[in-house]
Structure 1
Amino acid sequence: MMTLMVFTLGAALVLPAWTGATPTTAPSGLSAQREGQRAFDWEIGAWDTRLRRLRAPLSGKTEWLDYAGTTVVSPLGNQRANIVELDVSGAAGRIAGVSLRLFQPATQQWTLHFANLANGLMTNPMSGAFQDGRGVFYGDDTLDGRAIKVRFLITQISPTSWRFEQAYSGDAGQTWEVNWVAVDTRRTGISSDVSQRESPRQSVP
């Protein structure tokens, strides 16, 4: 991740209503490594992660929790999939999870599947693509028995850093509350060249 990731955020960020549409093609201005099947090639490698999450989303409470740790992204299946390993800790405890991301050639979109290692459960998938220099992904989930919309944004991508944001909507996408923000910085001395990573047919540690 996730999942994700400075940090001066209000409890809620109001954005235009979501129409239900997700981007299906990568912008023409992006390099080939950020289009379609190669959309996540830039992320392969190891990152230092600073993460802030809202303790109680959609509750009206504004307590934020801070974490720090690592994110490792490994390619699978000839770059048609990848796996993300998140491991961060803070005063509130530890978050360890994995995200399996799969490319769908028919739609030119990606699906993102996150699992929390603490409970061994996988969340509902997110779907989307990169457009205008950022990744936008939407999905549906429940929070305390309540149906919600979920949005992921991947922005501010550079060779050395990027930003992840998660937001929930309890009103079918009319407004959004940001509840998870992460900023990743590439770990020094570790190459991001996909060709230097293990073969997609090898297992990921």
Structure 2
Amino acid sequence: MRVLADPLSESPDEWLRFSGTSTVRPLADRRANVVELDVSGPDGRIEALNLRLYEPQAQRWSLTFVNLRDGLLTPAVYGGFRDGVGEFYGDDELGDRPIKVRFLVDQVSKDEARFEQAFSADGGTTWETNWVAVDRRIRR
């Protein structure tokens, strides 16, 4: 996993690298799941949860992230899957400025998925990727 150190800034791109595990637990007859993320690297550790809920009335998923360091839920991103690719969008803040958030999920293979998050400060006209993770399934 790699994370942009200072997203939407004028500073040069500095990527922080991490490795570890994502454990996905299905809930509510697979209409929801929770992801436990535990990664570390030279720049520290990230422990987080991601709650994913299916809304049948809207036929969409919501994804809500929480960094366990501060225990705060981020605003959800909403979307779904088409042809094996998930696209999710939402609104958030970076510091005190409003931003758009895009989260993409791409199934690379049966046992591998790529996750990418990007921020936009101009209403979605341009996007800056700031989080890239590749998960590989470990068969037990």
Tell me the TM-score range normalised by the shorter chain: over 0.9
| Percent of aligned positions that are identical | 55
What does residue 4 of structure 2 align with? 54
What does residue 103 of structure 2 align with? 152
For the pair shown, the structure with the greater C-alpha radius of gyration is 1
**More strand by percentage:** 2
- Per-residue CA distance 1:117-138 (angstroms, 9 max, x = gap): 0001000011000013200000
Alpha-carbon separation, structure 1, partners of 2:118 and 2:54 = 23
What does residue 194 of structure 1 align with? none
What does residue 162 of structure 1 align with? 113
What does residue 135 of structure 1 align with? 86
Alpha-carbon separation, structure 2, partners of 1:60 and 1:182 = 24
Residue 112 (structure 1) aligned with residue 63 (structure 2): yes
Q: Which is bigger in relative contact order (C-alpha 8 A, separation at least 6)?
A: 1
- The one of 51, 73, 84 equivalent to 1:122 is 73
- Displacement of 1:159 after TM fit? 1.5
- Displacement of 1:157 after TM fit? 3.5
- Displacement of 1:60 after TM fit? 2.5
Q: Could you state the TM-score of these two structures normalised by the residue count of structure 1?
A: 0.66
- Per-residue CA distance 1:131-178 (angstroms, 9 max, x = gap): 132000001000010000000000133211110000000000000000
- Displacement of 1:77 after TM fit? 0.5
Which consecutive aligned stretches of 4+ in structure 1 deviate over 2 angstroms post-superposition?
none
The 5-angstrom pairing of residues 1-205 of structure 1 reads 51-61=1-11, 62-187=13-138, 189-190=139-140
2:36 maps to amino acid: E
- Cα RMSD (Å): 0.9
1:99 maps to amino acid: N
Where does the alignment leave 5 or more consecutive residues of structure 1 unmatched?
1-50, 191-205
Q: Could you state the TM-score of these two structures normalised by the residue count of structure 2?
A: 0.96
Alpha-carbon separation, structure 1, partners of 2:99 and 2:83 = 26
